[in-house]
Every structure is written in structure tokens, then in C-alpha cells.
Amino acid sequence: MFDLKSIKTRSTENPKDYVLKNEALETAIQMAIWLGKPLLLTGAPGTGKTQLAYKIADMLANDSNKNANLSASFLDKPFVFNTKTTNTATDLFYYYDAVRHFQKKYIDEIDKPKEVSTAHPFIKLNALGKAIVQAYGKDAVSKSAGLQDLQKLEDFDSLKPQPLSSVVLIDEIDKAPRDFPNDLLNEIENMEFYINELMNKKIPRPTTNAQIVVIMTSNFEKNLPDAFLRRCLFYHIPSPTPAELINIVCTRLERHLKELYAEKDNDRLNKISEKLTSNISVAVNEFQEIKSLVKDKEPATAELLDWIKALEQQDFFADEIDFKSLKPEKKKILQSVSSALAKTDADLERLTKRYAV
């Protein structure tokens, strides 16, 4: 009954396919690097805020040779912290598994009463903590009298030997408790932190030339504190214009289709590619009308891409498309994939009526 073939492709999350052609946004990123301040990105869900951090990391990694005299090379992927409603400020730097540590101490008291169970193996560095320690490099930490005990931390071996720059993504920071952003101000400005469970051990700012670029995203589910906002650079990512959407979708879909069909069905690939730009143009125009029709949750770029990929799988783009004179079979296809765009019963009903046969 169901086709279990997946149409997910590597190109879906490939930062090289992210279309960054926004001069104001590029300037904001450049200022964040120059000033050493976090960049706070806002915008509707689906406008590419999270993926932008991956794009920035990829671009900086590829430019590392050009800037070798100014900065240590960048990692090509960001360290990511997915904010939750229960987070405290220390969670951004490390996680301490108190339950597992307690269990180990209890067992050791019975089996090995003379051994002391330290907290080190139960502490795992999180995004910003890992970026700071990586700015030292694993080799330098191992040789430092003040830091060498960090080798005992869980996942320490995942760090690279040499000092490296990195991008840190703090995703959806507005989900955190209100005190969370303010509690981060000193640590983010000074790029240092303390590990309470190791006798309040201080991890000072590295003296290497490694840089840390902090990108934060917010859907503005709640207002962030004024003191925090003053310490950040800010940019709001607007919804793309129709022309920008056409460019984004064509770029992403072209790679997606090649990955799906280049080695399996070249005839299909060639047939779709012949009419790709014109069909995407009319599909984006239809999407703009749908956005005005949908009342509850307006679809964004991510939903548009899913919608078009689903339509393509049902041969919707095999011919030249005209949404003003659709055949009944095409309308049925549009009805069947409406759930990619509508997120409530009322909106789904509106789209179903729009494509009624």
C-alpha cells in the first residue's frame, strides 16, 4: 500500500546549496566577526535561520587558507545547542550526569571502597564549552598543568589536536527561561566558563588566534531581556520575495533531482529539467496565493520545498503546468499533498476546496 522509498537526499541539508544573496545579512555576519559579538537572527519558522549557521561555518572553513595569518582554521560544521525550556546557563557549556555519577559512587563504595570517584567522566562539554576548549586544541590542553585534567571528561577525544576556530549555534534561545540569556552575558563576552562540579574550575579564554562566532536564533515566542539584546547584533530574516523563492527552489531542487535520478533514471531527470524553471515559477506564484488563503499558520520556504518535492514524486511536473487550467488528475494530486502546506484542519479544508474537482 505504501511506497517505502525515501526521497530525502544529502543535498537537503548541504550548506553549499543554501542561497545567501542578501547584502544586509552578509554585512551583519561580517560585523559579528569583526566585533566579536553574537548575532541574533529572527524570522518566521522555515526561513532558514538554523541552516544559515551551517552555511557560515562551511564558508569560513573554505576561506581558512585566505585568512591563515589572522585566525586559526574554522571547523566546517557548527557546534549546536538546541535550547529547551528547562535549560540553565551552564547547560550551554557542559552537562553533568549527576544520576550516573551517584550510581557509580554507590557501587564503588561497595566494591572499591578506597577509590575516589571524580566527576570528570560524567561531564560532557556542550556547544560553547566545546568551542572554547577546541580553541586551545586537545594537545595544548593535555600539556597544560591547569587544564590537563579535562582529558578525563566524557567525549574529550572528539576534539581536534590543534587550535581551531568554530561557529556556535544557539538555536531557538527564546525557548529558554527568561534568566538564561542574561546569565550568559559575561561568559559569551569573555569566552570563559566555570565547572562547578570540579571545585568551580575556571576554563579561561584561550590565548590562541582561534575565533568563536556565535549565532543565535529566535522565533520571538517571548521577548528577550533588553540587557541581553544590547550585547548582540540583530538581523531579521524576512520572507523571501517571489523572485528569491524561485532562485532558492530551483537551486535546491536541481541538486535534489540529480541525486535522485542521475544514475537511475536520466530520461526522467532530463524531462523534468527541461521545464524546471518555468514550472517552479508558476508553482511559486501559486504558493504566494496559498499563503494569502491560509489563515492560521502561514507556510514558509521549508514547506514550499517539501510541497514541490512531493508534487514531483507524483509526476506533477512532467508537463508544462498552468494552475489556471488544471486537469482533474492534477487537482487530485494537489489535494493529496496539501498537508505539506496546511497545519490546521481549517487551512487544510481551504486548500481542499481550492483544488476541488
pLDDT in tens, 90-111: 999 999 998 888 887 777 666 6
Residue 123 has pLDDT above 60, yes or no: yes
pLDDT of residue 344: 92
Which whole number is the average pLDDT over 293-312?
89
SS3 170: strand
pLDDT range class, residue 330, cuts 50, 70, 90? very high
Indicate the burial class of 228 (C-beta count within 10 angstroms; 0-12, 13-18, 19 or more): buried
**Where is pLDDT greater, at 169 or 260?**
169
Residue 11 has pLDDT above 70, yes or no: no
pLDDT range class, residue 206, cuts 50, 70, 90? very high
Residue 335 has pLDDT above 70, yes or no: yes
Average pLDDT score, the chain: 88
Pick the range with the lowest mean pLDDT from 105-119, 176-190, 324-338.
105-119
Q: Buried b / exposed e across 178-215, counting CB within 10 Å, b at 16+?
A: eebbebbbebbeebebbbebbeeeebeebebebbbbbb
pLDDT range class, residue 114, cuts 50, 70, 90? low
Residue 223 has pLDDT above 90, yes or no: no
The angle at the Cα of 284, spanning 3 to 286, to the nearest 5 degrees, equals 90
pLDDT range class, residue 238, cuts 50, 70, 90? confident
Residue 116 has pLDDT above 60, yes or no: no
The full set of domain ranges for the chain reads 23-236, 242-354
Residue 292 has pLDDT above 60, yes or no: yes
Closest CA to 244 of 48, 30, 15, 31: 48
pLDDT of residue 124: 96
Q: What is the architecture, at CATH level 2, of domain 23-236?
A: 3-Layer(aba) Sandwich (3.40)
pLDDT range class, residue 154, cuts 50, 70, 90? very high
Which whole number is the average pLDDT over 17-34?
89
**Where is pLDDT greater, at 185 or 149?**
149
pLDDT of residue 113: 58
pLDDT range class, residue 32, cuts 50, 70, 90? very high
Which whole number is the average pLDDT over 136-156?
94
Residue 39 has pLDDT above 90, yes or no: yes
pLDDT of residue 115: 59
The span from the CA of 134 to the CA of 148, in Å, is 13
The span from the CA of 141 to the CA of 159, in Å, is 11
Q: Give the tens place of pLDDT for each residue, 171-183.
A: 999 898 888 888 8
Residue 131 has pLDDT above 90, yes or no: yes
pLDDT of residue 4: 62
Helix (H) or strand (E) holding 346: helix 345-354
**Where is pLDDT greater, at 18 or 354?**
354
